[in-house]
Each structure stands twice: as structure tokens, then as C-alpha cells.
Structure 1
């Protein structure tokens, strides 16, 4: 009877885990065009290959400092020594390449947002000057587009964004809609703050010249303070990278100059100690990066 009951129960399949979709750096704007989402950076195939090979080689070379020279007999390398060296090179290199690509992608996204942030400050200066000369808001944005093309180029990030503002007039899309879309895609706090002020003042017809002028002064002062903070953070990040590289260089130097140290490092106990040390090493680096990010 029990067997019949068990047989009668339908087998329930576990729901398949949803596949992670690749992150895209493109979004659709109010003009129904594909534009950049500055939160993400999508590396080209050339960049992926270049950075992967670079990380693979560095990881493989570093692996030889810690896991090279195993299975020696009387201080002489054996066939297993060459096999283990190659295996360590490939395994550590693949791990380094896999880990480095998303890290590099985030860094490139941050770098692009920083470029946009600085160009946006110059755009605000152009807007302020145009509005002070009694230009309309629409004309001020058109003038800012011309100024940014002259100051940078037609391919500059801010010039491409202002070109969308300029073309929006042809299909009756208002400036506040374009500014709101730009702010959401930018990932830049100053642009989001400016958008909040712009949304409040543009519709009711407030004194845009005075508002944008005051907003420009406040944002520029805050950006100067943030630039000083970022300079100190970058200095700390450089110090952290130097501190993390130093142990690797010390191990490499001691292996090359002290045969006894190299033999002890290649022993089972040495491999275990090295593995624990590398785990602590990686944990300390991740922790240090989080401390810098909070700063």
C-alpha cells in the first residue's frame, strides 16, 4: 500500500534558476534612441581579450612565486614539477582573468562617470552665462551644445547628451523630460541634484537664470570639495596597492636568493601555509578596498 501511495504522488520539478542576463550599457531615451547608461560599462571584445590576457599572465607569474618548484627530488625538478608549474600557472591565471574583468569594468564605468561629471560642470557655466544674457532656456541649451563641441568635440559625452536636447525640440519633447532621462542614466549625484531643481522650476516658469546660477555655484563648490577628497582617496588607494605588491616581491626575492627558503616553501607544510597566507592576503585587499570606498 505504501508503495502504491508513493507511486501515485506526482514528481515535482524544481523551478530552474533564472539565467543572469549580461549587463548592458545601453538604454532607450525619450527620442526612442539607444543611449548610454553610465551606471554600466560594456567592454568590447578587444578590451576583454586584452585585460584577460594581462590578468592571466600576471596571475600565472605570481603563482610561480608561491606554488612553483613542487615535487622536486634532491633539489632537482622532475616531470611532476613541470606539470605542477604549468597547472598552477593556468589555474591561477584563469582565476585572475575571471576576477579582474568585472573589477576593471566597474573602474572604467567610474572613470567615464567622472569625465561626464567634469564636462557637466563646464556645461553649467555655459548655461549660466547664456541665461545671464537674457537667453531663453532652450537657446541656452543650444548655446551650451555649441560651446561643448568647441571646448571638447562632437564625440564628447556631454556634447552627445546636449545634441539629444537639441533634437528633442523637433518632435516636441520638452527639456524637463530629456533632463530627467539624462539624470537617471548619468549615475552622477550632481546631475541628479540639478535635475531635481530643474524639474521644480522649469514647469511653473520660475526665474531659471537665478536658480541655475545659484545651483551652479553650489554644485561647483561641492565638486571642488569632492575632488580634494577623491585626491586623498586615490593616494590611499595607491598606498594600498603598494602594500599589497610588497609581499609578492619579497617572496620572489627570497625564493631567488635563498635555496633553503624555496625548498621549505615547496614542501606540503609550505604549500598549506602559502594557501592560508594568500587567503588572508586577498581578504585584506578586499577589506581595504571597502574601507577606501566608504571613505
Structure 2
């Protein structure tokens, strides 16, 4: 991801300014773009974890139905989930932590609370809050788990539907993001003398800077338009 940012910043500096000094000046824009990519990566991982968490609580619910205690259901859930996910899956890492805690006599309510603190996901936090309250007060755990699984499942389904509807728009946005660079390159090849005037004086560089600022503003606005939170 860092390499991608470096390539884009370097390419932008050459296309718009034909100067390596511009690479340094464009570092803030590169940092901003890196933050955008990082945020996108985090959201993707959070969505993946929610899918895994939904499957976990469904497995957990099935084990409780067959007569397992809450503590043993957590341990058995780890074995069940290991069948479907690779060792580097986030849900397996979290389950392993919970199982270790339970083995050293940490209350399962505390283990669930700490899971929600580590993930910082609203759905997991809501589940933990209701689960802990029900466990300590003797509430209906089965109903809580089923409702949580249904809510997370509905949220995932809505997110997938939105992603499907926006897939074409996101592709169009990616294409449109590249077009300004293509236009500048085309002008450079087709009209080298005209474009040369933009690189050799302050006024020309001011024009290119203005174009770049407009482009960055449009890019940021475009990202906000195609991102819909569920």
C-alpha cells in the first residue's frame, strides 16, 4: 500500500510539474491518500470480521442447544471455526484469546466484554452488553444470540445489496480518477511546445497546481458519494 502511494505521488509530481522537488511538496497529499486507503482497508476487514462473528454466534447457539455450557460452547466453537477458516483469521485469534482466558478461570462475561473492547465494533459491543446482562441476571441467552445473529445478518445483507448497486458506479469513479492524468499525458505527447510552457514558469505551475487542487477536491467528494454507511 505504501509502495502504491509512492508510485502515485512520484507519477503525479512528474506529470504535473516535471520536478523531483514536487515529490516533497506532494507528501501531504500522499499522506492524505494513504489515510484514505488505510480507512478503506480497515472497513473491509471490519466487514469480514462481522461475517465471521455472525457465523461464530450461530455456531455458539447450536452448541448451547445441544446442551453445552456457555464456557464449553466457547471452547468447542473454536474447534468448529477452525474447520472453516485459516489460522490467520481474525475470529480465530479472538476465540483463542477467549479460550485461554476461560482456562485460567476468567469469567466468560469478562472475556466477551474484552472481545468487544478489542474489536470496537458496534455490533459486537451491543452483543457483549446484552450477553453480559443476560448471563448475570439469568436472561434468555438463546433468544439474545438468535436476535444478534439475525441483526448482523440483515446488516451484512443490506451492505452487500448496496455494494452490488454501487459496483458499476465505483468502477466508473476509478476510471474517471485516472482520466485527468491521461489527458495531461496526451496533451504532453500531442502538443509538447504548448505543455512545455506550463512547466517552465511560475504562471504555468500555478495553473497546474490549481488543476491538481480541483482534482483532489473532486476525488475526495467522489469517495464520500460512493461510500454509504449501514
**For this structure pair, what is the TM-score category when the shorter chain's length is used for normalisation?**
0.7 to 0.9
- Matching of residue 146 in structure 1 with residue 79 in structure 2: yes
TM-fit CA distance, 1:267: 5.2
The structure 2 residue matched to 1:91, chosen from 16, 24, 27, is 24
Change (3 A) 1:165 1:97: same
Shift of residue 278, structure 1, vs aligned partner = 0.9
2:213 aligned with 1:279: yes
Corresponding residue number in structure 1 for 2:11: 61
* Cα distance in 2, alignment partners of residues 240 and 228 from structure 1: 19
- Aligned CA distance change for structure 1 residues 233 and 190 (closer, same or farther; 3 Å): farther
Q: Describe the SS at the equivalent of 1:203.
A: helix
Residues 1:161 and 2:119 are matched in the alignment: no
The answer on 1:137 being equivalent to 2:54 is: no
From 120, 123, 129, the equivalent of 1:196 is 129
Larger RCO (CA within 8 A; separation ≥ 6):
2
Q: Contact 1:145–1:163 at 8 Å: present in 2 too?
A: yes
| Ranges in structure 1 where 5+ consecutive residues have no aligned partner | 1-50, 69-84
Shift of 1:272: 1.8
Distance 1:281 1:161, change over 3 A: same
Q: How far apart in 1 are the matches of 2:144 and 2:28?
A: 52
1:56–1:96 contact (8 Å) kept in structure 2: no
Do structure 1's residue 170 and structure 2's residue 120 form an aligned pair? Answer: no
What TM-score do the two structures reach when normalised by structure 1? 0.68
Q: 1:238 and 2:171 equivalent?
A: yes
| Counterpart-to-counterpart distance in 1, 2:167 and 2:77 | 32
Q: 1:231 to 1:86 in 2, by over 3 A?
A: same
Query: Residues 27-60 of structure 1, C-alpha deviation per residue, up to 9 Å, x if partnerless?
Result: xxxxxxxxxxxxxxxxxxxxxxxx4443223222
Deviation at 1:275, TM superposition (A): 1.1
Rate the CA distance shift 1:142–1:127 in 2: closer, same or farther, 3 A.
same
Structure 1 residues 233 and 174: CA distance shift in structure 2, 3 A: farther
The number of aligned residues is: 228
User: Match for 2:60 among 127, 135, 148?
Assistant: 127
**Aligned partners of 1:158, 1:280: CA distance in 2, in Å?**
42
Correspondences of 1:215-294 after superposition (within 5 Å):
215-233=148-166, 235-266=168-199, 268=201, 269-293=203-227
From the CA coordinates, give the structure whose radius of gyration is larger.
1
Greater mean deviation of Cα atoms: 246-255 or 101-110: 101-110
Using the TM superposition, give the Cα deviation of residue 64 of structure 1 relative to its aligned residue in structure 2, in angstroms: 2.2
Q: Partners of 1:220 and 1:109 in 2: how far apart?
A: 20
The offset of 1:127, in angstroms, is 1.2
Give RMSD over aligned pairs: 2.4
The alignment partner of 2:88 has SS state of: coil
Tell me, yes or no, if the aligned pair for 1:183 and 1:192 is still in contact at 8 Å. yes
Q: Identify the structure with the greater helix proportion.
A: 2
